[in-house]
Structure 1
């Protein structure tokens, strides 16, 4: 029985994707090519990741030729690097990317909410400060979450002659909808997935697959590590302009509220663990802050409109 090589780690996959994209640039220097060759020869895993990237490009046409002509902006290049890294650690037969150049890019500003109806009938809600790329082709429907949070109510895709899986790519993995309504949030170093209806197949960048069913939630890293907990419908109430919390520590509450307003919002450590509950209207975050002293022993101090500190009263 032949020896099986260990899987390529997510870290090496990201390095390979970075080198691969750099080598496609018109302005790559001899020194950079030499550095790339040194990286490839530094470890067998590096070379395996490099060769896997080449096979992905050759077999699936993963990277569009116009990349070498410098026509893609920085954000789209970053998305392409993330997806190439995913392709390096995933089985080739599972990766369905035919072209990474996004067909459509959508974004919201801080405090803004936007709802879109995609070509397949999918409803896509974008929360505050969110950016996505949408790329539908003959083989799949791909939504790449660059930052922020989205709520998806998957469409039937009745206009397509063949089944095209609906997938969401985050920094930590690939999510495939199985007829569902679900929420995806890009956190720092982790992806939060909440399934309200149906099920979602989760393929981490480097970790075992798992299926999350309706009523379940997980926040996982690139290795797929994360405990499954009950889903909370209240986490989706931002689509109605509300922040709904139940006995949330004040520090965490202000962190959530701060997503919907520009500037810096914080509290002192002696009030950080005070608990707060309620449904708060996000259209006026200053009104929410003004009401805090009525329910908690705190005062709200404004150094400027964009620099706010909650202190003990």
Structure 2
């Protein structure tokens, strides 16, 4: 009883919000899955692990659990009747109390119904603009974190869950389902998983030698292989282990738009720094750092002359090219020229 009262107090709309919308949506997904027909001990373990991420995750799950228990017999007709009764009563305080309880209940019921009963639609597309990030929770419980300038398409079928990364960067935290592999198509390859976490970055067409694709495995296991429709971009499938990054670069052969270059083990904190709005540079060329910063800002930086050869190290905030340009100018004795649509770094 104390837990329920604490949850209700935390949900008071008069106080500051404690649970982000994306976390609340994920909690609704977990409640739906746990009350579905395919509950397993593994699913329960994964849900407990999800709750340990933060106090907000635990609170969101408690709220959804309380609501599910309170409104097992709630119907939309009952919701409409209660709404009319509340409006006739004209009690502002009672209205707020009812809205907190029944409004949340209806929201959860609608979310649960959509997730549990509605067929998975093919061709759902999600995208982000320059400097924008977005979290998407798919109907199987998979969580996608989309970085700047990203576009993906989702197509779920009975035998396979498919996502196509048309451009950009996405972190996949895949819900386990051994009967339906999770396949990500990007840059002529397929990344195959059942339940794991991995990062995919796909670059648009560019000159030979540029990176076409990077796959970084955070946990679990994935297999990276050539897509059947693209020929043999990879000589063989790569079975990745946690901590590895597989990078493909563009070839100058028309029939082989990408070819495997190398597998390394980057610092995971640096690879995922974009989720905190940061970029990590470790003795990289200024030109390379500028290319990374330009992904997050609509006013790009251009580097003239030999200035791009200067080295950069440190942690910087993304989405603020003006401050970055000024900092680089001060550090390396350069000059910043503001042309309105671009910032230019030049040697004086």
Q: Could you tell me the TM-score, scaled by structure 2's length?
A: 0.56
Q: CA deviation at 1:187?
A: 2.0
Q: Residue in 2 aligned with 1:133?
A: 153
- Aligned-partner SS, 2:149: coil
Contact 1:181 1:197 in 2 (8 A): yes
Which residue number corresponds to residue 307 of structure 1? Answer: 342
Q: Find 2:304's aligned residue among 249, 268, 276.
A: 268
1:224 deviates by 4.5
2:225 corresponds to 1:203: yes
Partner of 1:138, secondary structure, is coil
**Matches of 1:285 and 1:270, distance apart in 2:** 20
Equivalent residue, structure 2, for 1:192: 214
Match in the other structure for 2:287: 251
1:231 is aligned to 2:266: yes
TM-score, reference length from structure 1: 0.62
Structure 1 runs, 4 residues or longer, greater than 3 Å off: 221-224
Tell me if structure 1 keeps the 8 A contact 2:128–2:148: yes
CA distance in structure 2 between the partners assigned to 1:252 and 1:125 by the alignment? 24
Please tell me whether Structure 1 or Structure 2 has the larger radius of gyration of its CA atoms.
Answer: 2
CA distance in 2, matches of 1:224, 1:311: 35
Quote the Cα distance in structure 1 between the aligned partners of 2:185 and 2:334: 41
How many positions carry a matched residue from both structures? Answer: 208
Query: Does the 8 Å CA contact 2:168/2:201 hold for their aligned counterparts?
Result: yes
Q: Which residue of 2 aligns with 1:277?
A: 313
In the TM superposition, what whole-angstrom CA distance separates every residue of 1:138-196 from its partner, at most 9, and x where no partner exists?
11111100111111111224xxxx61111100122111125321111112452111112
Offset of 1:232 from its aligned partner? 2.9
CA distance in 1, matches of 2:246, 2:136: 25
Query: Does 2:181 align with 1:165?
Result: yes
Q: Which has the higher helix share?
A: 2
Q: Secondary structure at the match of 1:226?
A: strand
What secondary structure is seen at the aligned counterpart in 2 of 1:293? helix
Structure 1: gaps spanning 5 or more residues: 1-100
2:167 aligns with 147
Q: Which residue of 232, 246, 254 maps to 1:218?
A: 246
Question: Which consecutive residues of structure 2, in runs of 5 or more, have no partner in the other structure?
Answer: 1-120, 206-211, 250-256
Q: Deviations over 1:263-286 (max 9, x none)?
A: 442112311121111111124332
Distance 1:297 1:102, change over 3 A: farther
